[in-house]
């Protein structure tokens, strides 16, 4: 069936992306949705929920408020809560009901900002796009507002990590490992957007020589920083044994030349040879594909079920829009590396390697999360 998932899961929605990206930045996130829905955005999809506080709220939208267009109630509630909590910023975003009611979030944000004096961002989430879209817009809004000054760069090479959320990296230790790898590669970290760094760290982002984009949800922000401060970006995640060295060289080259690079997509998946297929977020999956090819010589192909710019895909990679397409691609593969929830559509004679992806299966397989950063791959391929 077209664009349908009968057997496997679907990815977390844009609203979850907003909550995840802004979780640690000291802002208040308000999702305009029915009471109880916070568990969807911030419990099932959020491993930090029980150990780290964050100001994520649901507006408790009622049928009457939606039908009557009672925006004033939302504005007054958010204004009142903001006066109590003094957040650094406010992000307000929607779900399917406000989508149907045509709620104008940027306009509501303007009213809240006028009343509170706190920067307020109205985001365009609707529950109809993936987490990448929401996370991307949320980060871009914050960086666009707070990173306005062009700061001096130090002599020592520095970098930001852009696009890191538990939705793509869970709590496997992967983001700490990326930081450690970056230091080993000779770059001092300015900020990691947005895990383990504060809003004040992010405000200094313009002082970095180069930006490492680890998920496609970071690309728009990296582009913003390039346009505003001339900072080049490199897209890739240092997975496996040999690819980290390739990525480190790309970072150094970019810092020196000012030119952006996409080592995650510098592959060729054309031709009829059987390949290992890797469905998932384009920058991580592309990096993993390169890592597998470099470390084992086994050819790979990325299946992209999520929003991704064409430039993030290599020739021969495949966009997929439903589980039938995934099943067809798996059937012709030499193996599959994917979230365990893909397993039911993988033929039994095709080797399936489990790689949990929080944005796809939530907390179901969190205990199985793998840290693949700068180390040998755990599978015999």
**110 belongs to the binding site for another protein (CB under 8 A):** yes
The answer to whether the beta carbons of residues 381 and 335 sit under 8 Å apart is: yes
If the CB atoms of residues 103 and 165 are measured against another protein, the closer one turns out to be 103
CB atoms within 10 A of CB 50: 7
**Contact stretch for another protein (CB under 8 A) within 95-103, 150-158, 203-211, 257-265:** 95-103
Would you say 113 or 281 has its CB closer to another protein?
113
Q: How far is the CB of 94 from another protein (least distance, A)?
A: 12
Please identify which residue in 39, 83, 104, 273 interacts with another protein, judged by CB under 8 A: 104
3-state secondary structure of 62: coil
* Interacting residue with another protein among 80, 114, 268, 270 (CB under 8 A): 114
108 binds another protein (CB under 8 A): yes
Q: How far is the CB of 86 from another protein (least distance, A)?
A: 22
Q: How many CA atoms lie within 13 A of 29 on its CB side?
A: 30
Residue number, 136 or 206, with CB nearest to another protein: 136
Report, in Å, the least distance between residue 105 CB and another protein.
11
Nearer to another protein, 106 or 347 (CB): 106
For 299, phi then psi, to 5°, come to: -75, 150
**With CB under 8 A as the contact rule, which of the stretches 108-116, 140-148, 354-362, 371-379 interacts with another protein?**
108-116
CA distance 164 to 23: 12
User: CB within 8 A of 227, min separation 6: which ones?
Assistant: none
x/- map, 75-94, another protein, by CB under 8 A: --------------------
- Maximum CA extent, the chain: 62
Instruction: Identify whether the C-beta of residue 14 lies closer than 8 Å to the C-beta of residue 134.
Output: yes
Rounded CA separation 265/72 (Å): 47
Residue matched to tokens 């057997």: 7
By CB under 8 A, residue 331 contacts another protein = no
Query: What is the CA angle 27-90-44, rounded to 5?
Result: 60
CB within 8 A of 328, min separation 6: which ones?
none
Asked if 130 and 143 count as a contact pair (C-beta separation under 8 A), the reply is: no
Q: Which of 35, 52, 83, 100 binds another protein (CB under 8 A)?
A: 100
Give min distance, CB of 237 to another protein, in A: 30
- Whichever of 78 and 189 has its CB closer to another protein, that residue is 78
Residues 6+ apart with CB under 8 A from 78: 28, 30, 59, 90, 92, 112
Binding to another protein by residue 101, rule CB under 8 A?
Answer: yes
Cβ-based nearer residue to another protein, 122 or 240: 122
Closest distance of CB 101 from another protein, Å = 6
323 exposure class (CB count in 10 Å sphere: 0-12, 13-18, 19+): buried
Please report, for residues 30, 172, 325, the alpha-carbon distance to residue 89 in angstroms, rounded to integers and kept in the order given: 11, 29, 41
Instruction: Pick from 69, 344, 347, 376 the residue near another protein by CB under 8 A.
Output: 69
Comparing CB distances to another protein, the nearer of 124 and 204 is 124
Beta carbon nearer to another protein, 111 or 137: 111
Q: Is 111 in the site for another protein (CB under 8 A)?
A: yes
For 311, which DSSP code? G
Least distance from another protein to the Cβ atom of residue 110, Å: 5
Q: What are the residues binding another protein (CB under 8 A)?
A: 69, 100-104, 106-108, 110-111, 114
């Amino acid at each position: 069936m077209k664009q349908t998932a009968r057997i496997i899961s679907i990815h977390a929605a844009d609203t979850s992306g907003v909550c995840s990206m802004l979780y640690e930045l000291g802002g208040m996130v308000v999702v305009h949705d029915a009471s109880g829905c916070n568990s969807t955005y911030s419990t099932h999809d959020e491993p930090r929920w029980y150990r780290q506080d964050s100001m994520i709220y649901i507006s408790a939208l009622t049928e009457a408020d939606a039908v009557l267009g009672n925006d004033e109630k939302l504005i007054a509630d958010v204004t009142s809560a903001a006066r109590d909590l003094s957040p650094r910023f406010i992000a307000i975003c929607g779900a399917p009901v406000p989508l149907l009611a045509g709620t104008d979030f940027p306009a509501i944000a303007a009213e809240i900002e006028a009343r509170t004096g706190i920067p307020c961002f109205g985001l365009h989430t609707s529950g109809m796009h993936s987490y990448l879209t929401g996370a991307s817009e949320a980060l871009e809004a914050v960086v666009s507002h707070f990173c306005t000054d062009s700061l001096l760069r130090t002599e020592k090479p520095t970098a930001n990590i852009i696009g890191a959320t538990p939705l793509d990296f869970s709590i496997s230790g992967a983001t700490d490992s990326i930081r450690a790898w970056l230091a080993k590669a000779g770059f001092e970290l300015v900020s990691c957007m947005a895990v383990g760094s504060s809003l004040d760290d992010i405000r200094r982002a313009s002082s970095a020589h180069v930006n490492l984009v680890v998920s496609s949800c970071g690309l728009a922000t990296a582009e913003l920083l390039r346009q505003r401060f001339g900072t080049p970006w490199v897209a890739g995640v240092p997975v496996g044994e040999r690819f980290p060295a390739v990525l480190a060289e790309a970072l150094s080259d970019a810092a020196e030349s000012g030119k952006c690079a996409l080592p995650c997509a510098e592959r060729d998946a054309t031709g009829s040879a059987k390949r290992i297929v890797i469905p998932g977020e384009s920058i991580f999956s592309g990096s993993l594909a390169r890592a597998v090819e470099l470390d084992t010589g086994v050819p790979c192909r990325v299946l992209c079920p999520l929003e991704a710019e064409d430039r993030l895909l290599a020739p021969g990679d495949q966009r997929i829009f439903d589980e039938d397409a995934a099943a067809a691609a798996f059937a012709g593969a030499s193996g599959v590396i994917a979230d365990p929830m893909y397993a039911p559509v993988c033929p039994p004679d095709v080797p399936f390697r489990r790689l949990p992806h929080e944005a796809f299966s939530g907390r179901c397989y969190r205990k199985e999360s793998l840290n693949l950063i700068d180390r040998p791959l755990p599978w015999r391929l």
